[in-house]
Structure formats: C-alpha cells, structure tokens
Structure 1
Amino acid sequence: MSARNLPYLPFARPTIDEFMVEAVGDTLRSLWITSGPQVLAFEKALSEYHGGRPVRVFSSATAALEVAVLTAGIGPGDEVIIPAQTFFACANAVARTGATPVFVDVDPITRNLDLNAAEAAITPRTRALMPTHFAGWPVAPEPLYALAQEHGLRVIEDAALAIGSRWKGKLIGSFGDMVSFSFHPNKTLTTIEGGALIFASEEEARTAERLRFHGIVRLPDGTRDVVVTGSKSNLPDVNARLGLMQLARLEEFIARRHVLVARYFERLHTDPPCELPFRGDEGHSWNFFAPLLPLEQLRWSRKEIMDALHQEGIGSGISYEALHLTTRYSALGYQAGDFPHAERIARTTLTLPLYPTLTLEEVDRVCATLEKILKQAAR
C-alpha cells in the first residue's frame, strides 16, 4: 500500500473517546461553562492524585508558570536559572515578570538541567531554579532540592511533559515546591488548552488563585476588592470536565506509551544510526520520543528529512530549539557555543509520532520509513 493510501501519522494526537465528548456536551448543556463546579472537581481530583497537595488550574501552563514566578515574589532585578533546552514558555514566564532568565546547559544523555552548571550560574540575584522534566523523565529531586536549600532558592518545576511521571515510585507533583503541568493537546493529559500548579502550601495556592483572576477577593458584604495586580487565566468548566475524564485514563495512557516506546527501541535501527533518547525506568511518562539525527553523516538537512517523512504520511516535530539563541534571548548576550549540549540537541532532535491510539504496526512503519530516508540521505 502506498503512503498516499495510509493514514497520516502526526507526531502528537490527543486521545478523545465518545464518553469524553458526551461529558463535555453535558457541561455545555448545563449552561455553566466558565469556571465553576467542574473546575473545583478537577482541582480536587488532581489534588487527590498527587497526595492531597493544593492545586489550582489555569488556562495554560504558560500562565501557570508566570503565576508561579509571581507567587514566589520574583520580579525585576531577580534571576531564575533555566535549561537552555526547553520550551519558550519557561523563559517568557520569567521575563514577563521583569525578572531575568539565566540559561545553563543540559545533561547530554537525559537532556535535563545540568545541576553542576546551574550551581555555577548562581549569583546573589538568583531567586529560583526552573528545571524541566524533559520528555517526562524527572530531574533527580535529591540533588536539585539540596542545591536549592543550600542557596536559599525556590524551585519551580516545569513538569509540562511529566504528569504521571514518578521518581522512585513517587509522583512528580506529590512532593517538592511548586510544580507546573500542561494540558495542551500534545500532552499526556489534555483539557484542550490548560495547565495546573501544585503548591506546598494552601496560602500560596490562594495567592495564585487571586493572580489568575484579576486580583479579586470577595468581601463579607458581597462586594469585591482588588488586592494585587492580577490577570485572567482561569480555566473554563468545559475544559475541566474533559480534564476529569482524561485523568481517569491517565495511567492507561502512560502504560500504552511505554508499550509504543519499547517498540521504538526494538525497531528503530537506522544506518547511519540515530541517537535514541534516554530510556529511564518505569517512572518515565514518555510525553514524546525524540531521537537525535546523525546529521554529520547525512547529505540532507533535518528540514529535508522532515519533508521526506511528511511526503510518506508521517509528521514530525522539533523538541526543542536552543532558547538562548532565539532573537529575544540572544539579546541578553548569549551566543552560539555557550551551551554545546543544548545546541547539539536543538540542531539534531526529531520528534516522532507517539500517542496512545498509535498502533505497533504504525510504529514499525515510522521506523522503516525513517530507515529508508536516512539510507537515501547518507553521505
């Protein structure tokens, strides 16, 4: 069967069943569609899943990260240490508060924040560490929090890719400081758009709640007051209802991702060889699967390889560009060569299809197609 007769395989796809569609429809029919009882129920369910810690949900993980920075009291003159290999939202969330993102390199194997590099970047202005749990593999919390404690720093965990991930059996988000999750459609759990913050204290959760909705507090006489400069990043009930249904299947979704990833490790053997991602253990939630291309052994660019995959009915992505080399953040004085591991990953990474409804046969198709393309592209 030719590629044109095969279904197109995007690199990410949400898993939406008819029960979820019906539940969202019920919420629409209730006519309470903005933040309300479904948001409260979703926050309660997320809290219970993470051991009873306080949770607040948001319209996006980007908004959640910005609120986390503000809740920590970080602003102009302060610095937050961020890996140079992560999504743009991390740096933007810091910069929008007036603070300065300070980039450091990543571990070349796990692609997570290099804690030795982070320690070397700490200055008297440093207020927080913002590690990303890359692709769903957690940053080791023991040295992370030891470093933060030694220097009196907050930790804002970017767990956008890591809901359901575990470290030594403990769920990411069930311990630590502030932890942010994303519910974008390409994440393991989706609310269409959305995000969440988990807190170590209910007091900070209430602060974040005010920041997400205009800084409003309700007074005993029924009137409202504004106590802080807030924004508007509350999650609608329609989204929260979908989130509740998704959360009920989260462990199933992650288990399926493990099966598919095992197939990739079994079948993806190209010539010249790709560098496969760090496998980790059962605590990995595998939000995406991104090998590194052997571009130095190829005549084709990554874009040409992605185009060739597209012609064969296979989507691919880039996770991620080097943050410090973007126009916005290179203006802070960063340049090529500053963070070689992050830059190498950014140059060569290729995100391949991974989502629960993908079949093993489709994984085989991706592997065989990439093998064929790289053979054609070899020097």
Structure 2
Amino acid sequence: MPQDFLPFTRPSIDATTMDAVAEVLRSGWLASGSKVLEFEAALSAYLGGRSVRAVTSGTAALEIALAVADIGPGDEVITTPMSWCATSNVILRRGARPVFVDVDLDSRNLDLDAVEAAITPRTRAILPVHFSGLPIDQDRLYRLGRQHGLRIIEDAAHAIGSAWKGRRIGSHGDLVCFSFHPNKNMTTGEGGAIVASTPQEVEFIETYRFNGVMHRAPGEFDVSFAGMKANLSDIAAQIGLGQLVRLETFNARRRELAAHYYARWASNCPLRLPARGDEDHSWHMFAPLLPVDRLGLSRADFIARMKQHGIGVGIHYPAIHLLSAYRGLGWREGQFPNAERVGRETITLPLFPAMALQDVDRVIDTVHAVLAEIAHAA
C-alpha cells in the first residue's frame, strides 16, 4: 500500500481532546459519570434544549427507541433497505417485522409514496434514514405519522449537524437517534445518543440503558424489566465533548470538499453523483454510483485498483433485504430496484475534514485513470 494512502474516512482528534481524555483516565472514574452528564448537556444545547441521553452506539439508540415506542411481536415498522444492517436488525431483535420500501435513486432516502402505500393496520412506526446526512422530507414524513397514528424513529446516524429548513435534525421531531462511530461526522470512539420528547421517555431510556435498574435508598435497587447494558463511559463522553465544539467546522469543511467534487465533475463525469441537497446537508459521506453494467467492469476490480493507486473506497451499503437473514423472511431480488442498484454500484470516495481540495483532485484524477486502465485491459 502506498505511503500516502488516502482512506475514505478518518476521524480528527486534536491534542486538546487527547489531553482531556488522559485527565479522565487519571481521575480514576472511567464509567458513566460527570463527563457523560456534561456531554448530554452539551448535546441538548446544540439541539435547542431537547432532552438527550447518550448510549454506547447508534444501534443501541435505535433498539432503545423502539422499546420506548413499545414496538414488539406482531408489529410492523416501515424502513429502508438501503442502510447499515443495524437499522433493520434492531426491529427483528424487538420481535417485530421490518417492512421495506424502495428509496430514491439519488438521495437514497425512503420513497414516501411507497411508505404511504405500505401502511397496514399492523404498522406501528416509520424508521427512515437521513442517508449520508441528506434529510428526508420531514414535513411529509411527520404528516404521514400524524395521519396514521405512527411513531417516527429517525435513524440520524449520518445526520448530526444536518438541518431541515434551517432546523437541526434532532432539534424537533419524535425519537431521533445519532451514532458517534469513528467514521461519523463526530465521534466518541464508539457511541450514540437518543433524543426523546417527554420526561417519562427520558426516564425509561435511563433505566433501559443500565439493565433496567432503578435505584432506591443508598445501596438498594430494583429491576422492573430486562434492559440492556448501553451506558456511555466518561472516556467516550470526553472525546465527544472535544468533537462537538468542532462539529460545525468539520461539517463546513465536508461541504467544501463535496462542492469541489461537484465542481470538478460538472462535466465528463463517469459516475452517477448523489443528490446534492443544500447548505443544510452535513455530508457524512460522498457515495456516487459506478455504472458497472454500462462500463463493463467489476466494482471489486475498480476498488482494488484504486487501492493500488493509494485511494481507499468503501461500499455503503449492500441492500439489506438481499442479506441472508432477510431472504429467510421472504424478501427477494427485484422488489426494490433502486436500493438494489445502489447496493451493486455504490462506491464511497474519500471525504473527511482533514482532506485538502488537492486530495479531491487526486481522487477524481485516479478514478479517471483507473477506468482508463480497465478499458484498456478489456
């Protein structure tokens, strides 16, 4: 691998944050404590005062949100086949059934016409993903929820810092779940958060994330239900505090980099570029489509050649309904053609705040060079 290898993503952790984490380590208190409370307060302020509780992952956030909404056996949750598998896995883990509908080919967000057509008497919730940080139409989404009495559980794993009509994702809405995985716009190492609407929901989340334990008198506690172990550590929270104060700078840089991709590929672009959105798009990733059939090439070959040239390329994501666990539930090829095409053709190109505009130029030049190599070899 070349010395100057450019990955498709890389977290930016500054020395101040590293020093602050060292202070936490020296304090002797590493589990959930004052830093988690401070991080939750900072997230709440960022989201306009909404109640936020931190957990160990975006996956845990989604599963707990489904529990808050009392989703269980016999229930249906309408969701997307174009996401990381956790989005639908958590529905199965609650004993409910994920009901997939197709996505728009360019935004990768749920087709809300298809969502409306899929609603049945068993539907209890809609679980959309703000793909790559591009918000789904919040007005129509919540109008559907109100019309049919459904909970809305937003998978905002990609969307910290994104906004809909000037309002940050998570500053409004029902249950909103974030991820702070290392490849996200901000990280806690591993972690996530849930935005809830009522004090009762917040109390339930606090109990659920710590095994269902409810503390009584000093040294005494009770357990009224089987929760999970999903409380964030102070170590992770301290990383999050250092990241949150830089988030707007991170996202501004991501927008600059994405804009440069579009400017360079304003013409003669061999790829199908994703929907651009507007200034409220946080650009978690840049994932165009590689038209493998039209160009007569293998995506795997393209990715391997890009790596040889020092450029990392990801795949986000294979279509969920074609994974073995979901084929076993009766889903099959041909049901969601847009999601399936994205699953076949998507290539995630480098996009992270530490990149220079010249790095984007390098990626674009390498894409053209690799495609020329493949065409010549054919």
Class of the TM-score when normalised by the shorter of the 2 chains? over 0.9
Structure 2 Cα separation of the partners of residues 249 and 240 of structure 1: 15
Aligned amino acid, residue 96 of structure 1: R
Question: How many residues are matched?
Answer: 376
Are 2:296 and 1:303 aligned?
A: no
Residue 114 of structure 2 corresponds to 117
Task: Specify the alignment match of 2:150 in structure 1.
Answer: 153
Match of 1:103 in 2: 100
Give, as a single letter, the amino acid of the residue that structure 2 aligns with 1:194: G
Structure 1 residue 271: Cα displacement: 5.8
Which stretch has the larger CA shift, 231-240 or 106-115?
A: 106-115
Q: How does 1:335-354 map to 2 (within 5 A)?
A: 335-354=332-351
Segments of 5+ residues of structure 2 without an aligned counterpart are none
The percentage of aligned residue pairs carrying the same residue is: 52
Aligned residue type for 2:175: M
Residue 66 (structure 1) aligned to one of 55, 63, 66: 63
Deviation at 1:87, TM superposition (A): 1.1
In 2, Cα distance between equivalents of 1:252 and 1:221: 44
Q: Distance in 1 between matches of 2:50 and 2:351?
A: 30
Does residue 226 (structure 1) correspond to residue 229 (structure 2)? The answer is no
Question: Match for residue 217 of structure 1?
Answer: 214
Q: Give yes or no for contact 2:25–2:235 (8 Å, CA) kept in 1.
A: yes
> Is residue 54 of structure 1 aligned with residue 51 of structure 2?
yes
Stretches of structure 1 that go unaligned for 5 or more consecutive residues are none
Q: 1:299–1:377: 8 Å Cα contact kept in structure 2?
A: no
For 1:193 and 1:272, the matched residues in 2 are separated by: 36
| Structure 1 position 228, deviation (Å) | 1.4
Tell me which residue corresponds to 2:86. Answer: 89
How far apart are residue 298 of structure 1 and its match?
Answer: 2.1
Query: For residues 248-287 of structure 1, what are the structure 2 equivalents within 5 Å?
Result: 248-268=245-265, 273-287=270-284
Alpha-carbon offset, residue 249 of structure 1: 0.3
Contact 2:106 2:273 in 1 (8 A): no
Equivalence for 2:195: 198
After superposition, residues 159-170 of structure 1 pair within 5 angstroms as: 159-170=156-167
* Residue 181 of structure 1 pairs with residue 178 of structure 2: yes
**What is the DSSP-based 3-state SS (H/G/I as helix, E as strand, rest coil) of the residue aligned with 1:306?**
helix
Residues 208-260 of structure 1: CA deviation (Å, up to 9, x unaligned) = 11111010111135410001111101110000000011000000000000111
Aligned to 2:76: 79
Aligned-partner Cα distance in 1 for 2:290–2:266: 12
Per-residue CA deviation, residues 46-79 of structure 1 (Å, 9 max, x unaligned), is 0111011111111100011000001110111111
Task: Report the Cα distance in structure 2 between the residues aligned to 1:4 and 1:348, rounded to whole angstroms.
Answer: 26
1:4 equivalent in structure 2: 2
Is the 1:270–1:371 Cα contact (8 Å) retained in structure 2?
A: no
2:106, 2:288 → 1: CA distance? Answer: 11
**Structure 1 segments of 4 or more deviating over 6 A?**
none
Confirm or deny that 1:294 pairs with 2:288: no
SS at 1:4's partner residue? coil
RMSD: 1.3
Quote the offset at 1:269 in angstroms: 6.5
Contact residue 86 and residue 322 of structure 1 kept, 8 A: yes
Q: Can you list the C-alpha shifts for 1:161-195, whole angstroms capped at 9, x where unaligned?
A: 00000111100000000000000000000000000
Provide the rounded CA distance (Å) in 1 between the counterparts of 2:139 and 2:361: 38
More displaced, 171-180 or 200-209?
200-209
Amino acid at match of 2:2: R
Supply the distance in 1 between the matched residues of 2:268 and 2:161 (Cα, whole angstroms). 34
| 1:135 and 1:286 in contact (8 A); partners too | yes
Is 1:134 matched up with 2:142?
Answer: no
TM-score, normalised with respect to structure 2 = 0.97
State whether structure 2 residue 140 is matched by structure 1 residue 143: yes
How much does 1:297 deviate?
Answer: 2.4
Q: Name the residue aligned to 1:30.
A: 27
